[in-house]
Amino acid sequence: MTREQIEQILKDSGVMLEGHFLLTSGRHSNRYMQCARLFESPKYSEALCAELARQFSDVKIDLVAGPALGGIIMCYEVARQLGVRNVFAERENGVMTFRRGFVIPEGANVLVVEDVVTTGGSVGEVIKLIREAGANVAAVGSVVDRSAGKVDFGVPFKAVYSAEILSYDADDCPLCRQGLPVVKPGSRQIKK
C-alpha cells in the first residue's frame, strides 16, 4: 500500500481528522488522530493490520501481545492474520499485568502491538512483562507512530503510518489567526 492509500483509509475511517483542534496538552493542531475509529470498521482495520503483518513476514512470531485498551482488538486482528494466539495486558491498581489466565510461554517469540505509539510507555511496560516471563520480544508494531520513528524499544519497530503531528502554541497559532473555530476532539462543543 502506498502512503496515499494508507492516508485515505485513515481519513475514510475517521481516524485522521483535519481541521483546527485543541489537544489535551493545550496546544492547537491542524490534525487529530482518533485510532479507535479504525477498529469500528473491520474492512479498514483488516486492511491496515494486514499491511502491518506483511512487514513482519520474515520474523518468527508465536504470540501477539499488547496493552489494553488500545491494543486489544489490534492484537486479535494481527494474530488472526498471522495465525497465532494473542493476549493483552491491563492495569491492576495501576500496574500493567497479564490477568484472565493469560500465560506467556517461556521462550516464545512475541510481537507487541498497540494501535498508536506516542511515547511508547504502555508498550514498554508490556515488553518488560514479556521478558520477565522469559519470552523474547521479536518486534513492536503499531498502526500509527506519532513519534515519527523517535521511540526506541531496542527491538525492530514498524508502523503502518508514521507522522509527527505538528502543534502550535495556543497564543501563536496560524489557524487561530485565520479565524477558524477551535474544536476539542471527542466533544461536540466548539470553543471560540
Cβ neighbours for 139, distance < 8 A, ≥ 6 positions apart:
56, 59, 61, 111, 112, 155, 156, 157, 158
If the CB atoms of residues 87 and 173 are measured against Zn ion, the closer one turns out to be 173
Under the binding rule (CB under 5 A), the answer on residue 1 touching Zn ion is: no
Task: Compute how many residues bind Zn ion; rule: CB under 5 A.
Answer: 4
Binding mask 117-156 for Zn ion (x = CB under 5 A): ----------------------------------------
Please say whether the beta carbons of 78 and 100 come within 8 A: no
Q: Which residues neighbour 131 within 8 Å (Cβ) at sequence distance 6 or greater? A: 137
- Which residue's CB is nearer to Zn ion, number 43 or number 192? 192
CA of residue 57 relative to chain centroid, distance: 20
Q: Which is nearer to Zn ion, 20 or 158 (CB)?
A: 20
Q: How many residues make up the chain in this entry? A: 192
Q: How far is the CB of 184 from Zn ion (least distance, A)?
A: 12
| Binding test (CB under 5 A) with Zn ion, winner from 28, 37, 146, 158 | 28
Subset of residues 166 to 185 that bind Zn ion, contact rule: CB under 5 A: 173, 175-176
**What does the binding site for Zn ion look like in residue numbers (CB under 5 A)?**
28, 173, 175-176
